[in-house]
Amino acid sequence: MAPQSSEVDVLIVGAGPAGLMLATWLSKLKISTRIIDKRNTKVFTGQADGVQCRTVEVFQSFGFAERLVKEGAHINEVAHWEPKEGGGIQRTKRTPDNEPGTSRFPHAVLTQGRIERFMLDAMREFNDLEVHRSIQPTSLSIDPSLVSDFTSHAISVTLRHLSEEEATPTQVGTVANGLFRSNLLTDEEADANPPPNANGDVGKEEIVKAKFVVGCDGARSWVRKQLDLHLEGDSANTYWGVLDALVITDFPDIRLKCTMHSHDAGSILIVPRERDLVRLYVQLGHTEEGERVDRTKVTPESILATAQRIMAPYKIETPYVEWFTCYEIGQRICPKVTLDERVFIAGDAFHTHSPKAGQGMNVSMMDTYNLGWKLAHVLQGKADTSILKTYQDERHQTAQELIDLDYRLSRMFSAKPSTGADDKTGVSLEEFEAFFKSVGKWASGTAAQYKSGVLVEKTGATDVAKGLPLGMRFESHQVVSIADARPWHIGDRLESDGRWRIIIFAGDVRIASQKAQLEKVAAYLDSPSGPLRTYTPPNADIDSVIETLTIISNPRISIEPNDFPEILWPAKGEFGCRDYHKLYADDESWFSGKGEAYKHLGIDTETGCIAVVRPDQTVSLTCRLEEHELLGEFRRGD
C-alpha cells in the first residue's frame, strides 16, 4: 500500500525555539503549517535560558511577554570579579546589564522549556497548531519542474513515526533526584507524561508535500545535510561545565550576573535563574587541536570542585543540582542557508557558538521571526517571491556578527588575566570591561541592523528621525491616545499580525501649513493610486494589509478625532464603526508622565516625518511628509 500523503504550505522540522517561533508566526497568520519533532516531549530543564530584550519585545508583539517577565529572573546588574593581590578575588566593578534606555523590557532568564511552553500555547490559541512528535524525516526531494512555481507543493518529504524508545531523548544532564517533577508548573504536567505513540503508528511512513520546508533541527541538522551544506569555522580548544543548582554560599553577588577571573584556577560566568536557581559556567580546561573531551568524566561534582577553587576564599555548595552539561562548541556558521528559497535552515542548524553571550535561543528565534512573515507574504500573494532572498542576506549578516563576537568573548573569558603591561597573552581588566560593555548593546538584540536592500530602502530622507535608523527595530516610546487619554507604548500597537505600518509623525498640526501637509498625505493614502487602496483586497478592512498610525507633537486636547481625515481613523468591520486607536499625541499622560517620543527619536516637532515599519517592526523607510508618494513603493520585493 502506498504511504499516506498530505499537503501543507510549510513543513517545519524541529520544535526547539527556532521551529516554535516560526510555528507561532505562521499560526498567527493562519498559514497551513505542520511542525514535527523526533523527540516525544519538549525539554523541561537546562538548555538555553537567557532571553534578551529584543526577544522580549517580540514576545510582547505576540502577546505573551508578561508570562516571561513574571516567571523569569531579571538581570539588572553585572558584577566583575578579578584576582586580588595576595590571593583570592575581588569585585572590581558593577555595570548595568544593558545601558539604561536599551529597551522597555528587562533581560530575563528562564529555562528553555518554559519559553517553548509559551510558544506552544500561542500556537494553539492562534490556530490550533500542535507539534507532531516522535516523527523523523527520512528523505527530501524537490520536483525540478515545479521549483520556480511557488504555488506548487514542489517538495516531498517522507516521514517515519518513531517508537517510544527512538523518540525518548537521552537526558544526559538531568539529575534525577525526585525534585524534577515537583518543580514543574501545572501546565507542564501533561507534557511530562507523554502518551505512548497514540495512534499505533510506530514505523509508519507518510509523505508530506510542502511548498516550503524549514530545518530548525539543530547543530546536526538533517535538513542541512539534505542540502549538502556544512557548518564552517573554528573548533573549540577550551571546554566548560554548566551547572544549574540551588546554592549555599557566602559569595555576596550570587544573585547578580558575574564575570570572574581567578589567578590560575580559571574563569566563571554566574547567571542567576528563576526559582532561586543559579547557573554556573565553569572553565574546565584546554584541549589540543583535534583532541576531544571525554564528557563522561565531567560530573556535577567535578564542575563544583573547579568552581570552588576559582571562587576561593568564598565557599559554595550545591545541595540541589537540576541540570548540568559540558560543552566545547566552537564558532561555526553555514555560509548558505537555503536551496532555491524553497528549503531553509535556521537556528543551530545555521550557526553554533558558545552560550556565553546569552544568545543561544535569541538569535535562533530571530532567524525565524525574520523568515516567517516573508513566507506568509509570498503564500498570501502579498509580495513577490524575491523577498525570500532577503532571509539569507539579513540573517547571515547577523549570524556572522554573533560568531565574531562570541569568538572574542570566549577568548576573553578563557584567557588568563594579564599580569602587567609586558604580558601579551593575558587579558587586562580594562580590556575585558571595555569589550564587555561594547558587546552589551549587540547582545540585547536591539542593535541588529539589516542592510539596505529590497525591504530596507534608502530612497527617502534618512535624517528626519535619527532615533529610527533604517534596518533596525522600531524603538518604542510612550504616546497618549487622543480619543481616550490612555498612555500606550507605540511598540504595543505594532502587534505581530503580518501588517505593515505607516507611522505618520504629523508634527504640530496647530500650524495651518502642517495640517495642510497632513491632509495631503491622507488624500494620497486615500487615493486609488495610494498603497492602501492598491494593496488591500476588495471587501477587506482598509487597514488589513497596511495600518496607518498618526502621532502628533502638539497637545492631545488641542485636537479631536473629528479633526483628522477619515482615512487616518477609518470606519471598519461589520458595523462600520470608526477605529479610535490610530491617533496619538506625544503628550503627557495623567498617570505615567511624558514619553517624549519625538525627542527620543530625533524627530522635528514642527515638521515631523513618516516611517514605514515592516511586519517584524524593522524600519524600512523614513521620509518627509512631502515625500509621501514614496509610500506607493510598497515594499513588495518586485
Name the residues that contact its own copies, by CB under 8 A. 63, 66, 70, 73-74, 76-77, 94, 96-98, 100, 106, 125, 186, 246-248, 250, 252, 254-256, 272, 276, 319-320, 481, 483-487, 557, 560-562, 571, 574-578, 580, 589-591
Do the Cβ atoms of 615 and 584 come closer than 8 Å?
Answer: no
| CB 255 to its own copies: min, Å | 4
| CB 24 to its own copies: min, Å | 16
| CB 562 to its own copies: min, Å | 6
Active-site annotation holder among 37, 49, 244, 586? 49
| CB 72 to its own copies: min, Å | 11
Residue 137 or 272 with smaller CB distance to its own copies: 272
C-alpha cell at 448: 541588529
Class of residue 539 by CB neighbours under 10 A (exposed 0-12, middle 13-18, buried 19+): exposed
Cα 36–chain centre separation: 21
Burial 83-108 (b: 16+ CB within 10 A, else e): beeeeebeebeebebbeeebbbbbbb
User: Is 49 among the catalytic positions?
Assistant: yes
Residue 266 or 595 with smaller CB distance to its own copies: 595
**DSSP secondary structure letter of residue 618:** B
| CB 440 to its own copies: min, Å | 12
Residue 54 or 342 with smaller CB distance to its own copies: 54
Residue 156 or 558 with smaller CB distance to its own copies: 558
Q: What are phi and psi of 259, to 5 degrees?
A: -105, 140
Active-site annotation holder among 34, 273, 332, 493? 273
Q: Read off the amino acid at residue 426.
A: G
Do the Cβ atoms of 12 and 216 come closer than 8 Å?
Answer: yes
Beta-carbon contacts of 238 under 8 Å, excluding residues fewer than 6 positions away, are 283, 284, 285, 286, 287, 328, 410, 414
Q: What are phi and psi of 50, to 5 degrees?
A: -80, 135
Active-site annotation holder among 355, 531, 570, 615? 355
Q: Read off the amino acid at residue 9.
A: D
The CA distance from 501 to 494, in Å, is 8
Cα 141–chain centre separation: 30
Active-site annotation holder among 106, 239, 281, 598? 281
Residue 445 or 471 with smaller CB distance to its own copies: 445
C-alpha cell at 59: 514576545
Residue 60 or 359 with smaller CB distance to its own copies: 60
User: Is 144 among the catalytic positions?
Assistant: no
Residue 204 or 486 with smaller CB distance to its own copies: 486
| CB 96 to its own copies: min, Å | 4
Task: Show the beta-strand stretches assigned E in 250-336.
Answer: 257-261, 267-272, 278-286, 316-327, 332-333
Do the Cβ atoms of 55 and 445 come closer than 8 Å?
Answer: yes
User: Is 273 among the catalytic positions?
Assistant: yes
User: Angle at which helices 17-28 and 360-379 pack, to 10 degrees?
Assistant: 30
Cα 380–chain centre separation: 24
Residue 250 or 497 with smaller CB distance to its own copies: 250
The CA distance from 202 to 134, in Å, is 9
| CB 594 to its own copies: min, Å | 13
| CB 102 to its own copies: min, Å | 8
Q: How many other CB atoms sit within 10 Å of the CB of residue 370?
A: 24
User: Is 384 among the catalytic positions?
Assistant: no
| CB 29 to its own copies: min, Å | 18
Q: Which of 518, 521, 522, 506 is nearest to 605 (CA)?
A: 506
Per DSSP bridges, beta strands 583-585 and 546-552 are parallel
The CA distance from 388 to 372, in Å, is 10
Residue 486 or 636 with smaller CB distance to its own copies: 486
The residues carrying an active-site annotation are 49, 273, 281, 355
